[in-house]
Amino acid sequence: MERHFFEPIADHLGSAYLRYSFTKGTEQEVAFLTDVLDLRPGMRLLDVGCGPGRHARAFAANGIEVVGVDISQRFIDLATEGAPEAATFIRRDARTLTYDAEFDVAISLCQGAFGLVPGEDGDVLRRMIAALRPGGRAAVSAFSAYFQVRWLGDADDFDADAGVNHELALVLDPEGAEATYDIWTTVFTPRELRLMADAAGASVEALWSVSPGEYGRTPPDLEHPEWLVILRPTDPGER
């Protein structure tokens, strides 16, 4: 498997990833998605770009059978340690997943995969939709292009043509050792997400503006850093 730019970052971060403030809203995010997606014990969920497994483990603790995939072996190892029995973690590249109609729900949250492969995010979305059983749904979070451009920082180098933000980020490992890494993140508009969904064989059920740990049903605006998109596969007769 080809090494992705995020792998050295994950290797350095390790468990320190879970110190970041954006990871502290897991309980609220899982509760909101459980309600919106009508998740029930015994259902199967695919977590694409699961990282150290914070969402996957929370869903599994509620009786959902979860498969978490991530390109970082370091994160897969962390996710596996002490995981609930209902959770399985596997190193996979989100762009080349081969699951076929095996899951009731697929998620990719906090730019776990979708948004971290500039120019190939459509491939991730197609693979997620292909993994869903008939009647299944997907939930994807993505950075807002509106918010990103409005609040560009001194460390940001935004490519307006590609819709990709480059940042030279200072990252601390669990012991506090510093290292600097390049991070490229794709940002999106609602219109673009709807077009990508259509190209992936899906339709958008809902698209909301959200912040980490504050998922809700807020219509698209300029004030929130992320979008939360709920998708369902399009029936062949609808295309």
Give residue 142's domain range: 6-238
What is the Cα–Cα distance from 72 to 127, expressed in whole angstroms? 18
Mean pLDDT is lowest, of 20-24, 96-100, 185-189, for 20-24
- Best CA proximity match to 185, nearest among 163, 170, 207: 163
- Best CA proximity match to 45, nearest among 122, 132, 111: 132
pLDDT tens for 78-119 read 999 999 999 999 999 999 999 999 999 999 999 889 999 999
Contact 197, 124 (CB under 8 A): no
pLDDT tens for 111-144 read 889 999 999 999 999 999 999 999 999 999 999 9
Q: Residue 1: inside a domain, yes or no?
A: no
Residue 136 sits in a domain whose CATH number is 3.40.50.150
What is the Cα–Cα distance from 50 to 118, expressed in whole angstroms? 18
Instruction: Record the pTM.
Output: 0.95
pLDDT tens for 192-205 read 999 999 999 999 99
pLDDT of residue 3: 73
* Cα separation values, 2 from 13, 93, 205, Å: 20, 9, 34
What is the Cα–Cα distance from 166 to 193, expressed in whole angstroms? 20
Contact 111, 183 (CB under 8 A): no
pLDDT of residue 200: 97
Q: Residue 76: inside a domain, yes or no?
A: yes
What is the Cα–Cα distance from 146 to 151, expressed in whole angstroms? 9
Structure tokens at 1: 């498997």
| Number of domains, the chain | 1
